[in-house]
Structure 1
């Protein structure tokens, strides 16, 4: 395919005319949704919530049967596919297109599994979710839309480099104070798994902690509903305004106890019924599912459940945010349910993690910045022999669908970053243009399409990823190599160029933890060490 010429202005450019009534979305396996919690679960921050200052009290799945769409490794005479699987040579192609995604559940679940003394199932390891679990230092755009950062560094493998594509949206004033952006009220329907499997420590107790943390931070004009499910679903609290009822919400949460079987279908269906019935125009309407996702009664496939709630999703725009818990957690089920349900997933294993999710990550979704956001990276065949996108296996979009605005992308809120990492084999003597990255999105209000681009020259590559690259690029490399090492254990995935043994990777992570003074990087170093002991 011909690569497109893109300009790199500081302000987003409009790319075409706004569409009127949007046609039904065309969903493709090649581009499963990488939706975020559009607009987010809107909080005011964890230290000054408008209400009581209540003190906070946090599986194994079968083989992943999801179709993995083929995508190109870039260039002719190639060794494999860009999702890392060994295969025959695909046709030459210097474009890479994917829907944006900042899910982090895969990394959170891997950390929990390693802490329990076990290696995660390779099928649950999604490298992009490892990479997107860490803070980045991309510049924010001056207005709505995205900034685009493209950088990279050479690896220890001859002629191979890591190229990082970083996208960032502008932060917003969460409280809506004078001079800042006023965020709309939130209408949140919690759907809580109270089945027997949730009795294990770190499941329902952690869910109660998480919900109480969130309740303390909600604004007076926000509202909450609570639905529980085991063998059947029950509405424990109709949609209730927080003002004057914060203590009532806490009492409902504290009274949650476990019952019997797990009918996720009943819970999600009831949750959407409640959300639709109490839909607040102009508010951020969300269903928040808290579960180990071990469905055993009712419909047990994500597709069947999503069919039951299709109208609520498409007509009312209510999205699903999945929070996974438990040492035995059905990662594939929750990921499919959230991704195909225009949602987002994360995983929480302890109170510290719950606080980060509900007090740091979700407040970043104060304002929706972009709908159906997709990225396309064009590599220059004069300087690039081949390339490989690390991860995003289920987020691929056909190259010719990049500007087809009926094809799903990701919904991205304020203050978010999205990172994609490529392994790129350079041609000998590569000089000049290396790659152009373009992000396309629809304006949340008008649905007008916009694009923004960033370029990189071969001369801009740092000399060595471990000694010369900026710290945050090195952290990105550690996360990607770590995910690759965990996934390669089943023999079906090939090595990422420049990879180092887990012991050496742990050393890099330890050094970076000290250099960045970032607790999340310290946790990464510990996880790599645990994996090294289990594989050594």
Structure 2
């Protein structure tokens, strides 16, 4: 039941992102409605993981990725630098629930290649995995969890972990969905890891729908058209046949397709339900707008109308990661990359509930550092999610959404007072606020401040929590902490980060093996295998 609803959620979010491209709109949270619980996917996730793991070597041999070319684009990024806690005591960013970078990196590594550095977004690697954070209490939509221990790549430094755990919602409490699949069927989608895999992914989702859900399908290539009018989820054969009939061919011009997708979504809008456009493409499309800037403006306007957008990426060689991530970030949606059927099942079945039901929107985190205890700090990842300090209290500033059951994890590397400063600090702190209005407790290393809005609210709520450092070493840290640190180490090695210190694949492997835990879904075990298979490519 839970797996079914999550799949619908992600589809809905994709729908929203696509919708955001075509129109100017307003993001509205769907009312929760009692609906019959869907049937659980017949294949257990861990079993599916194991089968995919066994077949990935053969698949890599058959589909060895070509060397990255200029037609495969990624947004250039530079690792966040260390900043002075005395000159710049505040660090502010928006949460991010995207996971595309991890599965895309996996695609490169399984194909026998080291991924481009800009393809490695550390926060998306870390947030690909769930963590055993406790459920929220007292009516809050999420819990805030913190931990501090030694940084594995530099034991003299401290590592601060901040984890959010969204409230889990029973599948029968999730709303019905009005979904529009917006599918790229241009000639560039003919490869086996594009349209054929896309069809398989959407079949998984369709099998999770029930009678209260509606599905429409819009395709675009040289021209756009509606290949399936709104159809109840109970008519699975009709929906599945429409998917099966899709063929790739023609040039790519997505503008008309996006407009039609949003028109369908609005015509069938469910005031008490989940309304989403799911855009599935390799990103190599022209939506009829002259620049990415104009496209982003269109998406930012569309997110206000209550139709959500989720973006699903497929393929290689001409894959346009930079464009697809931007659409998702600006459209109040999320972005996932589908590299195999295992990932399709994870995104569209197992974890769709979090996308289906948003429990908090415009979630921002601001960490205040105690200059009496902290010399310098740096945020690991989230480079394109950084906010100005004044944006924290500005309720008109857009930020990330948190879905039911979602987890978000962030790490800060901290250099305590008294430790020799062996790094360069950010030279110009002029854009930061050096005099926070709220004092920090004397014994606290940091204070974590968080703002969020209710799904239909316009005013943010503030949560604050001081965090003291008890001096824990790495060996005594929790499995959550060790595993997140292992993923961060792995990512810094892949990026060849100037701040990686003593990080290595061996270190990441040792930490991951020590924190694999119960691992019911098998994702941590797969990560361990990925590290092992990466050694010849990276070190």
1:208 aligns to what SS in structure 2? Answer: helix
* Equivalent of 2:104 in 109, 124, 128: 109
Which secondary structure does the structure 2 equivalent of 1:364 belong to?
helix
User: Aligned pair 1:442/2:446, yes or no?
Assistant: no
Q: 1:75 aligns with which of 66, 71, 84?
A: 84
| DSSP 3-state at the match of 2:383 | coil
1:399-410 matched pairs, under 5 angstroms: 399-410=389-400
Q: Output the CA distance in 2 between the equivalents of 1:65 and 1:111.
A: 16
Q: Secondary structure at the match of 2:275?
A: strand
- More displaced stretch, 262-271 vs 98-107: 262-271
Gap change, CA 1:210 and 1:45, over 3 Å in 2:
farther
User: Are 2:140 and 1:144 aligned?
Assistant: yes
Which of the numbers 190, 208, 221 marks the counterpart of 2:181?
Answer: 190
Distance in 1 between residues matched to 2:400 and 2:379, nearest whole Å: 18
Aligned to 1:168: 165
Alignment deviations for residues 395-435 of structure 1 (CA, whole Å, 9 cap, x no partner): 11111110110001112121111111111111139993111
1:66 Cα shift? 5.1
- 2:477 aligns to what? 469
Q: How many Å separate the matches in 1 of 2:402 and 2:273?
A: 17
TM-score (norm 2): 0.79
Alignment map for 1:331-410 (pairs within 5 Å): 331-410=321-400
1:478 is aligned to 486
CA contact (8 A) 1:373 1:410 kept: yes
Q: Quick check: 1:104–1:347 contact (8 Å CA) kept in 2?
A: yes
Is the alpha carbon distance of 1:46 and 1:203 closer, same or farther for their aligned partners in structure 2, counting shifts above 3 Å?
farther
1:159 paired with 2:156, answer yes
Does the 8 Å contact 1:153/1:469 carry over to 2? yes
Conservation of the 8 A alpha-carbon contact between 2:300 and 2:330: no
With the length of structure 1 as denominator, give the TM-score of the two structures.
0.79
SS where residue 159 of structure 1 aligns? strand
Is the contact between residue 36 and residue 343 of structure 1 (CA under 8 Å) also seen in structure 2?
A: no
Corresponding position: 1:500 with 2:506: no
Residues 452 and 484 from structure 1, CA distance in 2 versus in 1: closer, same or farther, beyond 3 angstroms? same
Higher helix proportion (structure 1 or 2) = 2
Shift in Å, 1:276: 2.3
How far the C-alpha of 1:506 sits from its partner, in A, is 2.7
After the TM superposition, which of the residue ranges 415-424 and 202-211 deviates more from structure 2? 202-211
Shift of 1:310: 5.6
Unaligned segments of structure 1, at least 5 residues: 1-34, 50-54, 77-90, 176-181
| Stretches of structure 2 lacking an aligned partner (at least 5 in a row) | 1-26, 43-47, 53-58, 60-67, 421-441
Please give the root-mean-square deviation of Cα atoms over the aligned residues, in Å: 3.1
Once the two structures are superposed, what CA deviation does each residue of 1:100-139 show, in whole Å capped at 9, x if it has no partner?
Answer: 1110001110001110111111111110000101111111
User: What is the distance in 2 between the residues matched to 1:171 and 1:217?
Assistant: 19
For 1:43 and 1:306, locate their aligned partners in 2 and report how far apart those are by CA, in whole Å.
Answer: 37
Deviation at 1:304, TM superposition (A): 3.2
Q: Evaluate the alpha carbon distance shift between residue 364 and residue 308 of structure 1 in structure 2; reply closer, same or farther with a 3 A threshold.
A: closer
1:47 to 36, 40, 48: 40
Report the 3-state secondary structure (helix = DSSP H, G, I; strand = E; otherwise coil) of the residue aligned with 2:385: coil
The number of residues matched between the two structures is 465
**How far 1:317 sits from its partner (Å)?**
2.6
The alignment partner of 1:285 has SS state of strand
Equivalence for 1:83: none
